[in-house]
Each structure stands twice: as C-alpha cells, then as structure tokens.
Chain A
Amino acid sequence: MSNSTDKTNPAEQPQQKPQVLEEDDEFEDFPVEDWSQEDAEQSAANGGNEHLWEESWDDDDAAEDFSKQLKEELKKVEAST
C-alpha cells in the first residue's frame, strides 16, 4: 500500500465541510408530513384526466424514411431472385 495516506494527517488538511446532500439523485424529505389525496391529484383543469401511457405505438407508416428504405431494399432482393 502506498504510504502517502500515512503522511497526511486529516487534522492538518484544510478542513472541508461535508458536501450538502443536494444531488439531484437524492429522494429528498418532504417538507410536509401528510396530505390528502386531493393534494396529490392533478386537477382536471391541469390535465388530470389526460392519458399518460401509449400502449399502441407500432409504426405502420410506410412513408416514413426508414420503412421506405427498407421496402426498397427488400424489393431489390425480390427482383434478383
């Protein structure tokens, strides 16, 4: 092991305060202890009823660039066989 750490005495180092725990990855404590479900829900005016998840996302748009190129490519095979 390197002995560089042996030589450094923490007391002699310039004191660093421990960083405050405000990384954005930290799940912070809530400022209030309890609230009602009404306080949690989005009001209807604020988009409370909108749908949040897309369950049908398959892309059937043949005009989309990727699909168009793929189609061309597959046509070439058809033509050559």
Chain B
Amino acid sequence: MAPQTPILDKFLGSVAELVQSRDGGKLQDFLQIEPPLSEIYQRMIEELRQRYQPGPRSDAELQQRCETLVPRTKGSSSWSAFPTFMRLYFSFLRDVNVENLLETYNMLRALLNQCVLALGDSQNGVVVLPTVLYLSKVLAKLAMGLDRQPELIAHILRMEGGADREDNAEKVTLVEQSANVVREAFIKCLTDRSGTPGPNGKPEGKRMGIYLMANLCLKLLFKCGKLRNAEQMFASISAQSPPLMHFPASQRVTYLYYLGRYLFANNLFYPAHIALQAAYEQCHRQAFKQRNLILTYLIPCNIIMGRFPSKALLQRPEAQGLAEQFEPLCRLIVRGDYLAFREYLSYESQQGQWFARKGILLTLRNRCEILVWRSFCRKVFIHGGFLGDPQAQGARGPPPFLYLHKLLVATNWLQTRSKMSLTNGTNHAPYTSAFGSQIISHPTDPDYIGLKDRLNISTNGTNDDHKLMEKYGDYLAPTAFFDEGGYLENNASGELIDGVPDSDYSDYSLDPYAEENILESQSALLMGELESILASLLTQGLIRGYLTHRNPRFAIPGARLRGALPTGFPNVWETIGTRESEDDSVPGWVKPAPAMLGGSALAGIGGRVVNLSGARPVGLQ
C-alpha cells in the first residue's frame, strides 16, 4: 500500500480553500520555497519523496491530485494552468538541491513560467498575482547572485547553447532571462480587461500588479544593462495603465525613480528631473537610502540644466556622501577652467570612478563642459571685453563685444597654468600640438607617433630614410616585382619601385599638413575651435548675440536696457527651463485625464493616451 500523506492532504485542502476564497495573499504565504523552510514543510517534503518518487507515473498521479484544487465548472477544468503549477511546485520542493544554484535557478524559472501562465487566466489569474511577485523576487535575487559568479554562468551557457552556439550569438545573462519572464507577468497585469481598463481605470484585479512587476523588471534590466528593452514597457504603460497616482506610494516612488533614470540615460533631462523630483518628494522622509539614490540622479540632472544643489539640500541627512562629489563639480563649472574640469571627471580620478560606478560619468562630461566654457567666456568678457559705454546716449555707439583673440590668450594661459600645476610649478609654454585639437592634448596614437617629428623631416631626412628602409625595405624596394603588364622585373639594385618622392613627385604635395608657418596655423586652429565652441553656445541659447568671423568677435546687441552681462550670458536654468517647460509631460508617467473629459470621451480611442492639453473647442479661434 502507498504511504500515507497526511500533511500533504491537509496542505492541498487548505490550498483548495484559498483558491475558492480567492485569497491570493494567503496562498502566496502557503507556497514557500526559500530555505530555511519550517518543520512542517520538511515533513511534507518527506511525504512527497516517499509517496511520489520522481518519475512520469508519480508525476501523473501528483498532477491528478492537483486537478482537484480548482473548481470544475460544467464538467471541464476551468483553470488548467494552476494544477500544473501546483504539481511543479511540489516537484520543486521534492527535487530541489540548493547546493546546485544553477539547477535551482532553472527549476525556479520553470516554476515561475508556469505561474505566469496561471496568471493569464481572466477569471482566476489574479489569485496567483502575489505568488508571481514572490517567485519573481526570489528568481531575481538568485539570478543576480549567479551573474556575479562568471565561472558558473559559463557552465550553464555552454550546457544550454550546445556546441553549435558560437560567440557571435548574443549571450543572454541570467538576469536578462529573468527580466524576460517578469516582463511576461507585467504584460498579463497590464492587459487585464476586467473592470475599467485603460488610463481611466482604477488599479483593480491584476492591474494592481502593473507597477510591482514593472519595477522588478526595470530593476533587472538596469542590472543587466539592457535599458533599451525598457522602452516598450514604458510605451505600453503610457498606452494602457491606470494613472500612477492610484497606486501605493512605495510603487510610485520606485517607478518614478527608474523612469527618471531611464529618461536621464536617454538625455531627456527635463522630464527626467520631473520624474526624479516627484520620486524625491513622495519618498518617505525616513527612507534615507532610497532618497540618497534618487538624489544621486536628481542632482546631476539639475546641474546639467544649470541648477545647482543648495547647501541646505546637500546638508540633509539623505544627501550624505553627495556633497563631496557634486560640490567641486559645481565650483569648477562656475570657475570656468575646462582643463581642471576634465581632470576632475577623468576616469583616473577618484571622483571619476565614483561617477562611473553610478553610470553618470560620461553624461556629466559631455553635458557640463559647455557650461564651463560659458563661465570662462563670461569671465574673459568681464575682464577683457568692451562692456559698452554707459555714457553713450541713444542707440549710437557699438554694442558690447569681446575680441576672441582675448579668449585665445586666456585659453593659452589656462593651458600653461594647468601644465604648471601638473609639473609642480615649472614654467611651460601652452600646448603646441602640431595636429588635431589645440584645446586639449591627447597622448599621441602610437600609429602616428612619427608625425611628431614632422618639423624636423627636412633636417634629418636621410636618417629617417634609413630607418624606413630598414623597416619597410622589402616592400618599398623588393628584389623583384611584377610590373603593370604582369611581368616579373628584377630589382637587384634595390631601387624604390614606386619612384623617388622628391624628384618624381615634386609636382604633388604629399603632406596634408603642409603649411608654411606652423605657429601661426596653430593659433588659427585654436581660434577655429574656440569659434566652434562659441557657435555651439549660441545655438543652445547659453550666450546671446552674434559672432563675426573676420576679425573674430562676439558681440552683444540690445544690451542697453538690461546690461551686457545679463543679455549676453542669460541665466542657464531660466533659458533651458523656459524652453523645456513648454512640454512638461513625462513619457511613461500616466496622469489622470483632465476632468472635462469623461470616461466616454476616451472610450472611443481605445484607451490610448492622447495629449489634449493644446486642444480647443471646435469653432473657436
């Protein structure tokens, strides 16, 4: 006779009751999987091992017992995915070997997959929603732990991929795999059609889980660096989710944090700052760690748009550790020293490492340097520009202007200054790189190292020729070669087979950098770069006026009323904020439809979000 299973029987009975009463929370509480399991579970596992030893026949028997868990309506099982899930759950308890994390991960993923299938049921799916969330979290934790152990990952990837799988196939990490399962659950929640779906609906039924699943999925996508995959999620949320405000604060704050970071990563700083600011304002004031993380992205977001964190903000307890990173950055922007700025944000610097770990280093580098240049130009203008004649009456007299020559001198001074600080005070000339940018000096690419000696070619040409022949003689002067007709020609005398450059090519210039006066051309190069920077500032609205190219100047017309500085160098935040606030909607953040639009008005357009803020009644001008 088969062994008795009193605990399992009781367990199944309770599960059946919970399904009937649709108590999803309690059901999840019953379906424990994480060790250490309490004694009663250990005893049930013992029963399972004795009564249902692994094998197709016992699986079928176990399945049969699980079939009774769901109500049979009109003869057919109404929710077939659930019994299968329960059978997998029991198999998981019985077979899992937590010593083997990979196997555990795979079993758990299969279990979650089946649970997500059960979630898909339009009537009963909602009962397993808490269980889906629970299993997803355990899976996420396991996957993130495993991805930190590359030697174990290599093993599973090889097992799964087989021998034919080459390196060119994109490897999917376990974290990304888990994100994909969680996304399935998210879609099931989002597309629940019961009650009032869409942006006018309330979080009811499975829709209660939209942001729980979305947040977990986003966490995993951020973890595996596949932010791009989140784009579709945000689009679906925009199209189908009830307004975010109807969800609990913890879900709102977490979601707005990830949304803000996603927008930040896509260089959409204005909407990102709205989302992150809202996350900060709605976050529990004692949740220091979360508030700290939100500030870690809210602050750079604002700095990029010309708004610096105040002392008061940086002194808040949750801002711990942020002041020492961001305050020097702000000071460098104000000062206008682009070289010190670059040094601060170099990967080698301590702060550079910190910014890199937070994933904001490159964004700060790329977006803040223009602000540094604005400050620098402004200072050069103050101390070296023509600020306008306050005595001049009427509109006569030239507008305030700055000779760019002064900017060039000041840039050279900065370069000298920076070199001096690097070499402990020894005086240095400004950069004299013969090629490329005059603004910054790059270490020479090893391939072009020979170019450094360009100025000396004529004086020690023969020496260079020797070196060249030593290295490339077999190519330039081989002992034999094929001529144009394809005949072999001997070249015993070792002539240069393509001819002698100086005599045979004297009519052509082979030197792309052939310029007469190297020093003059260098300052012309630098001037060209400075003009580009100013033009960039102009097109971004960060300075106002016009540039002249011949006799290079930056002029600030119309400054009589407000003065040269406020006119020529308008406030950065006002400029960017005014421009961006024309559209203050945040993609991915569903807000309630305006009150004037009833539910019926939206029903006709399939629940899509349409921005009607600019709409006017028909017939009005």
Q: Give residues in A with beta carbon < 8 Å to B.
A: 5, 8, 10-11, 15-19, 21, 24-30, 32-37, 39-42, 47, 50-60, 62, 66-67, 69-71, 73-74, 77-78
Contacts and interface: CB of A to CB of B under 8 A. Distances in A.
Contact of A66 (B149, B335, B358, B405): B335
A70 B380 contact: yes
Central interface residue in A41, A67, A77, by most chain B CB within 10 Å: A77
A54 B310 CA distance: 6
| Secondary structure type dominating chain B contacts | helix
Interface stretch (B177-185, B286-294, B517-525): B286-294
Which 7 pairs across A and B sit closest by C-beta, in order of nearness?
A18-B145, A34-B248, A74-B384, A30-B250, A50-B312, A71-B383, A52-B313
B171 interface: no
Given A10-B100, A19-B148, A30-B290, A51 B285 contact: no
Central interface residue in A16, A34, A35, by most chain B CB within 10 Å: A35
Contacts of B289: 24, 28
19 contacts: A5-B155, A10-B100, A16-B149, A17-B145, A24-B289, A28-B289, A29-B250, A30-B253, A37-B282, A39-B285, A39-B286, A53-B308, A53-B310, A54-B307, A55-B573, A66-B336, A73-B409, A74-B384, A74-B406
Given A33-B250, A57-B334, A77 B406 contact: yes
A40 B409 contact: no
Contacts of B375: 58-59
Contacts of B380: 70, 74
B379 A5 contact: no
A41 B281 contact: yes
A59 B406 CA distance: 19
A65 B375 CA distance: 15
Given A34-B250, A70-B410, A18 B148 contact: yes
Chain B interface residue bracket vs A:
35 or more
Nearest to A56: B571
A80 B414 CA distance: 19
Contacts of A8: 151
A19 B145 contact: yes
B390 to A, nearest CB: 17
Contact of A40 (B248, B258, B283): B283
Interface in B342-367: 357-358
Contacts, number: 152
Contacts of A66: 335-337, 379
A36 B336 CA distance: 44
A59 B379 CA distance: 8
A11 B99 contact: yes
Interface string B33-67: 00000000000000000000000000000000000
Interface of B: 99-102, 141-142, 144-146, 148-149, 151-152, 154-155, 158, 219, 248-250, 253-254, 257-258, 281-287, 289-290, 293, 302, 306-310, 312-313, 316, 330, 333-337, 357-358, 375, 378-380, 382-384, 405-406, 409-410, 413, 417, 565, 569, 571, 573-574
A39 B312 contact: no
A51 B330 CA distance: 17
Given A18-B142, A36-B249, A58-B565, 19 more contacts: A8-B151, A10-B101, A15-B99, A16-B149, A25-B358, A27-B290, A30-B254, A34-B250, A40-B282, A47-B312, A50-B313, A53-B313, A54-B308, A55-B571, A58-B569, A59-B379, A66-B379, A69-B413, A70-B383
A74 to B, nearest CB: 4
A74 B409 contact: yes
A47 B316 contact: yes
Contacts of B333: 57
A8 B151 CA distance: 9
B194 to A, nearest CB: 22
A62 B380 CA distance: 11
A17 B99 CA distance: 9
A74 B155 contact: no
B383 A67 contact: yes
Nearest to A38: B285
A20 B213 CA distance: 21
A55 B284 CA distance: 26
Contacts of B250: 29-30, 32-35
B378 A33 contact: no
A37 B284 CA distance: 8
A56 B289 CA distance: 29
Central interface residue in B149, B253, B286, B379, by most chain A CB within 10 Å: B379
Nearest to A13: B151
B146 A18 contact: yes
Contacts of A78: 384
A10 B410 contact: no
Contacts of B101: 10, 18
B357 A25 contact: yes
A63 B449 CA distance: 44
A25 to B, nearest CB: 7
Contacts of B307: 53-55
